[in-house]
């Protein structure tokens, strides 16, 4: 578990260079932004109208869940979300896999609204086709930066990926904290230190080139496995603060409301949260119990 002392003065300095989310006279002027992680307009509308969110992230899986069954129907759903959220950002993910195809698709998605943010997978291209260029995502991010198009580098699981995406000009980076924790739950060997699936903690040298280190020891170990994603966010924020990198760290793949506090302690700039989790943010079992008592006792004043 990260402690409040983990929040660094360097990160506050970095955040002071960035656009404030609230006006000058607002008590949470430099507060984090909260996005809804859904493509379902029926979920987005009440959250946006209540001032709970000021951005949206989508991906092909979320669009499929929202009923999209063709590229055309995806575009209609995205257009509706962009119009509702304008001028707040909405991330739309590229589905093409070659540089030329992605740039063409990015132009199409960027033309849907001035608040479009183009989501670019940072890596994984050779998992789809071994002949693809591993740097496709970084190249696309760089060209879109040159074209002044806002981007969100997605599918980030370590700080190296986050740094390179920022270096390529990404506006946002999206580390997937929930999927990292899921990976530990599924792959950690129980007899070893928590996080062993992410880092070979028994061999600190990692000197052989077949020993791929996917994450630092800090991210992998040092606490309960569920914290690996939160530690990743803290590590990225620290590196960005060290170099005053103003790419925003967007904590993605959130599984529960406890992670929201953890991610804020880790210094995330933005949280993108499923609607189901957002619906719980104003509640706590003791708030419910307290409300019932106060309501009952207030009846004494009504007659």
Positions marked active-site = 119
Structure-token match 């993910």, residue found: 93
Structure-token match 């496709």, residue found: 136
Q: Which is nearer to ligand E4P, 138 or 251 (CB)?
A: 251
Residue 179 as a binder of ligand E4P (CB under 6 A): the answer is yes
Q: Give the shortest CB-38-to-ligand E4P separation in angstroms.
A: 9
- Report how far residue 139's alpha carbon sits from residue 281's, in angstroms, rounded to the nearest whole number: 38
Coil/strand/helix, residue 216: coil
Residue 252 as a binder of ligand E4P (CB under 6 A): the answer is yes
Site for ligand E4P in 271-290 (CB under 6 A): 272
Q: Which is nearer to ligand E4P, 178 or 222 (CB)?
A: 178
Residue 48 as a binder of ligand E4P (CB under 6 A): the answer is no
Which two structure tokens, joined as six digits, stand for 123? Answer: 């890596």
Q: Are 225 and 194 in contact (CB under 8 A)?
A: yes
Which of 74, 215, 253, 259 binds ligand E4P (CB under 6 A)? It is 253
Q: Which is nearer to ligand E4P, 164 or 176 (CB)?
A: 176
Residue 37 as a binder of ligand E4P (CB under 6 A): the answer is yes
Residue 151 as a binder of ligand E4P (CB under 6 A): the answer is no
Give the x/- contact pattern for ligand E4P in 53-72, rule: CB under 6 A. ----x-x-------------
Contact residues for 196 (Cβ-Cβ < 8 A; gap 6+): 188, 189, 202, 220, 221
User: How, if at all, do strands 33-37 and 56-57 pair?
Assistant: parallel
Contact residues for 265 (Cβ-Cβ < 8 A; gap 6+): 2, 3, 4, 6, 7, 230, 234
Binding site for ligand E4P (CB under 6 A): 37, 57, 59, 154, 174, 176, 178-179, 252-253, 272
């Amino acid at each position: 578990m990260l402690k409040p002392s983990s929040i660094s003065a360097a990160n506050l300095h970095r955040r002071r260079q960035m656009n404030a989310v609230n006006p000058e006279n607002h008590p949470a002027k430099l507060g984090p932004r909260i996005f809804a992680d859904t493509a379902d307009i029926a979920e987005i509308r009440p959250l946006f109208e209540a001032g709970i969110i000021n951005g949206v992230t989508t991906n092909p899986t979320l669009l499929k869940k929202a009923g999209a069954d063709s590229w055309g129907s995806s575009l209609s759903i995205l257009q509706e979300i962009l119009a509702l959220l304008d001028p707040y950002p909405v991330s739309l993910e590229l589905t093409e896999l070659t540089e030329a195809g992605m740039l063409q698709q990015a132009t199409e998605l960027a033309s849907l609204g001035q608040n479009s943010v183009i989501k670019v997978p940072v890596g994984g291209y050779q998992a789809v086709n071994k002949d693809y260029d591993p740097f496709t995502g970084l190249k696309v991010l760089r060209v879109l930066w040159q074209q002044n198009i806002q981007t969100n580098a997605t599918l980030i699981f370590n700080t190296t990926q986050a740094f390179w995406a920022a270096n390529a000009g990404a506006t946002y980076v999206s580390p997937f904290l929930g999927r990292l924790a899921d990976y530990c739950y599924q792959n950690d060997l129980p007899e070893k230190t928590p996080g062993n699936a992410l880092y070979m903690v028994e061999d600190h040298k990692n000197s052989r080139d077949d020993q791929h280190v996917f994450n630092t020891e800090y991210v992998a170990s040092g606490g309960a496995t569920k914290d690996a994603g939160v530690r990743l966010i803290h590590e990225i924020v620290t590196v960005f603060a060290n170099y005053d990198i103003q790419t925003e760290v967007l904590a993605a793949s959130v599984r529960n409301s406890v992670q929201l506090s953890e991610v804020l302690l880790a210094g995330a700039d933005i949280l993108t949260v499923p609607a189901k989790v957002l619906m719980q943010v104003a509640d706590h079992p003791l708030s419910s119990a307290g409300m019932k008592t106060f309501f009952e006792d207030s009846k004494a004043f009504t007659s």
